[in-house]
C-alpha cells in the first residue's frame, strides 16, 4: 500500500548491509537557539539520554 512494500524491502536490504552489532548511533540536530543552553548546562543534554 502506497510504497510500504518497497520501503520494507529497502529497509531489509540496508539492514543486511550493516554489521550485526549491539549498538546504534543516532544523530540529533539542535536549533541554533539551543546551542548555548546545552553548552553551559551539559547535564540537560545528558539527561535526555
Q: How confident is the model at residue 1 (pLDDT cuts 50, 70, 90)?
A: low
pLDDT of residue 37: 93
Please state, in angstroms and as integers, the Cα–Cα distance from residue 12 to each residue in 8, 20, 25, 31, following that order: 6, 13, 18, 32
pLDDT at 49 over 90: no
C-alpha 29/C-alpha 36 separation (Å) is: 14
pLDDT at 36 over 90: yes
Amino acid at each position: 500500500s502506497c510504497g510500504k512494500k518497497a520501503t520494507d524491502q529497502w529497509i531489509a536490504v540496508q539492514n543486511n548491509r550493516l554489521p550485526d552489532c549491539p549498538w546504534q548511533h543516532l544523530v540529533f540536530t539542535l536549533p541554533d537557539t539551543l546551542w548555548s543552553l546545552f553548552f553551559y548546562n551539559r547535564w540537560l543534554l545528558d539527561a535526555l539520554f
